[in-house]
C-alpha cells in the first residue's frame, strides 16, 4: 500500500484521465469524485476505476467534449442531456441544476440521460446537503444481480443515496447498492487477493461464492425487499427517462468504443419550504447525538449515524494521507494510458 495526500491523488487521476482524452475540466471532475470515494474508504469506487475509465475514454466510448444541455420540463423538473460524456461531471452539473430548481420551487427532480458510469453517489447528494438541502440520487447499472427467486442476472446493483444537513457542517449520508454488496467491493477484494463473505454473491451454478474470481452474479439485499428496490431504481432512472431498462442496460465491458446511454435521477428537497431550516438542522443533529448515545449491542463500541464512520475516515485520511493499493498507484504514476484489459470482457471481468 502507498499513502499519498488527497491533492496528490487528485492530480494523478486528473493527469491520467486527461491523457486518455478528456478535457482538463472534465478530468478534474472525475478526479474529485474518485478521490472523494477513496478518502471515505469506498475504494471500490475510487482510483482503482481509473484504468477502466481511461480505456473507455481512449477508445471513444466516452465523449471527449460532450454537448451537455439542460432543459426544464416543468416548474420543478428537468432533463440533463449527457451526450455520453463522463457520468461524474454530468451528475455534478445535473445536481447543480437540481439545487437551483429546489431553491426556487421547494423540490426538484432532474434526470441525467445518455451518460457513462458516474461513481459514488454520495458525492452528488452531499452537494445538496452542503446547500442546506436534502439530496437523493439513484442510477442504473448493468445486469449483474439475480432477481429474488431467479437463477440468472436481470437487474444491476442499482444504487441509491441520501444526504441531509445537520448543524455545524454535519451531514447524514448513506450510499448503498441494492445488492448485499456493490460489484466494486468484489473488484476491491480481487485487487487485494482476499476472499468475500458468503451471502454476497453466487457462482455460475447459483451456489454461494467466497472466491471473488468465481462470482457470476450478485444477490439482492434482504431478498424480495432488495429486489423491489432494484425495480424502483430501474424505473426511475431508466424507464422514466426513456432509456434501456433491466437486462437491456449496456454492459460496462462489452464494447468500450460505444457510449453506455445510462440514466441517473436526482431528487432535491428544500427543508425551508416545509419547516424552519435551523430547526430542521438542530433536530437532525439531536437525532444524530441520540443515536451515538444509544446503548450499543455486544461487540460494538457505539451506534454510529449513517455516514459517521466514512466522515471520520475522510478526516483521518486528510491528515495522514490515503492508502492506495500498490498496483493502482504504480499504474497512476506510469506513462501507460491503459493496458487494454477491459474491452469485450464479460460483466464479471477483473
Task: Give the separation between CA 42 and CA 56, rounded to whole angstroms.
Answer: 22
Whether 6 and 318 have beta carbons less than 8 Å apart is answered as: yes
CA angle in degrees (0–180, nearest 5) for 31-107-244 = 60
Residues 6+ positions from 248 with CB-CB distance below 8 Å: none
DSSP per residue over 264-310, as a string? EEEEEE-GGGTS-HHHHHHHHHHHHHHHHHSPPPTT-S-PPPTTHHH
Quote the cell numbers at residue 152.
440468472
Residues 267, 41, 327, 209, CA torsion sign: negative
Whether 246 and 143 have beta carbons less than 8 Å apart is answered as: yes
The DSSP secondary-structure symbol of 220 reads: B
CA count, 13 A, side-chain hemisphere, 347:
21
Residue numbers annotated as active site: 117
Longest dimension (CA), the chain: 55
Amino acid at each position: 500500500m502507498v499513502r499519498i495526500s488527497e491533492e496528490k491523488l487528485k492530480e494523478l487521476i486528473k493527469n491520467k484521465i486527461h491523457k486518455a482524452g478528456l478535457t482538463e475540466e472534465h478530468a478534474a471532475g472525475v478526479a474529485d469524485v474518485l478521490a472523494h470515494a477513496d478518502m471515505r474508504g469506498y475504494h471500490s469506487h475510487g482510483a482503482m476505476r481509473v484504468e477502466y475509465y481511461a480505456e473507455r475514454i481512449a477508445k471513444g466510448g466516452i465523449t471527449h467534449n460532450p454537448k451537455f444541455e439542460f432543459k426544464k420540463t416543468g416548474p420543478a423538473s428537468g432533463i440533463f442531456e449527457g451526450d455520453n460524456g463522463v457520468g461524474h461531471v454530468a451528475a455534478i452539473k445535473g445536481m447543480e441544476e437540481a439545487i437551483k430548481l429546489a431553491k426556487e420551487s421547494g423540490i426538484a427532480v432532474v434526470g441525467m440521460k445518455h451518460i457513462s458510469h458516474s461513481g459514488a453517489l454520495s458525492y452528488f447528494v452531499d452537494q445538496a446537503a452542503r446547500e442546506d438541502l436534502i439530496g437523493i440520487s439513484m442510477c442504473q447499472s448493468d445486469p449483474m444481480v439475480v432477481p429474488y427467486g431467479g437463477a440468472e442476472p436481470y437487474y444491476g446493483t442499482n444504487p441509491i443515496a441520501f444526504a441531509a444537513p445537520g448543524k455545524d457542517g454535519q451531514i447524514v449520508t448513506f450510499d448503498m447498492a441494492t445488492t448485499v454488496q456493490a460489484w466494486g467491493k468484489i473488484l476491491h477484494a480481487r485487487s487485494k487477493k482476499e476472499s468475500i463473505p458468503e451471502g454476497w454473491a453466487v457462482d455460475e451454478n447459483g451456489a454461494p461464492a467466497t472466491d471473488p474470481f468465481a462470482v457470476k452474479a450478485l444477490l439482492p439485499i434482504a431478498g424480495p425487499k432488495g429486489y423491489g428496490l432494484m425495480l424502483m431504481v430501474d424505473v426511475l432512472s431508466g424507464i422514466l427517462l426513456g432509456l434501456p431498462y433491466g437486462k437491456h442496460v449496456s454492459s460496462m465491458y462489452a464494447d468500450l468504443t460505444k457510449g453506455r446511454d445510462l440514466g441517473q435521477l436526482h431528487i432535491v428537497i428544500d427543508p425551508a419550504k416545509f419547516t424552519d431550516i435551523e430547526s430542521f438542522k438542530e433536530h437532525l443533529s439531536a437525532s444524530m447525538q441520540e443515536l451515538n448515545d444509544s446503548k450499543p449491542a455486544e461487540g460494538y463500541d457505539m451506534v454510529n449515524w449513517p455516514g459517521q464512520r466514512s466522515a471520520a475516515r475522510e478526516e483521518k485520511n486528510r491528515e495522514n494521507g490515503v492508502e492506495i493499493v500498490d498496483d493502482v498507484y504504480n499504474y497512476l504514476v506510469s506513462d501507460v494510458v491503459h493496458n487494454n484489459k477491459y474491452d469485450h470482457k464479460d460483466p464479471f471481468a477483473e
